[in-house]
């Protein structure tokens, strides 16, 4: 068992995952009043600043599977925070952009998000 314990204690990937979960919990708590989770706020910020607004490009930039990203985006679309539409020049691709409500929600969340980042 000491080998297993040593492997656990020396594994940087496990330590990073644990630290990421702690940071996510702290940031989710800080964003609670905005009605957004860290994942949602991060995705809204990415959509707002992405040079290529297609789901494929967003997924690549976030290192996510497009189907995983699409599930999160559907929730934001249902909440009226993003719009998703087919790209007219390539009907296999879908573009994403913030709605006015999404831009307002992101702007309202940014101060709490930035303050929490300084504490984490």
Q: Answer for the pair 112, 33: CB distance below 8 angstroms, yes or no.
A: yes
**Per-residue pLDDT at 36 exceeds 80:** yes
Distance CA 43, CA 19 (A): 20
Please indicate whether residue 77 or residue 68 has the higher confidence score (pLDDT).
Answer: 77
Which H or E element spans position 118? helix 100-119
pLDDT band with cut points at 50, 70 and 90 for residue 2:
confident
What is the CATH classification number for the domain harbouring 35?
A: 1.10.10.10
CA atoms within a 13 Å half-sphere pointing along the CA-CB vector of 13: 1
- Per residue, the 3-state secondary structure of 32-51, as one string, reads HHHCCCHHHHHHHHHHHHCC
- Number of structural domains the chain divides into: 1
Q: Domain span at residue 11?
A: 2-119
């Amino acid at each position: 068992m000491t080998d297993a314990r040593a492997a656990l204690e020396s594994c940087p990937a496990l330590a990073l995952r644990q630290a990421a979960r702690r940071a996510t919990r702290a940031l989710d708590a800080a964003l609670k009043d905005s009605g957004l989770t860290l994942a949602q706020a991060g995705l809204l910020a990415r959509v707002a600043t992405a040079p290529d607004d297609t789901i494929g490009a967003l997924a690549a930039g976030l290192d996510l599977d497009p189907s995983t990203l699409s599930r999160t985006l559907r929730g934001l679309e249902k909440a009226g925070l993003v719009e998703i539409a087919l790209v007219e020049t390539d009907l296999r691709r879908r573009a994403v952009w913030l709605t006015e409500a999404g831009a307002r929600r992101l702007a309202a969340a940014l101060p709490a998000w930035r303050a929490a980042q300084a504490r984490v």
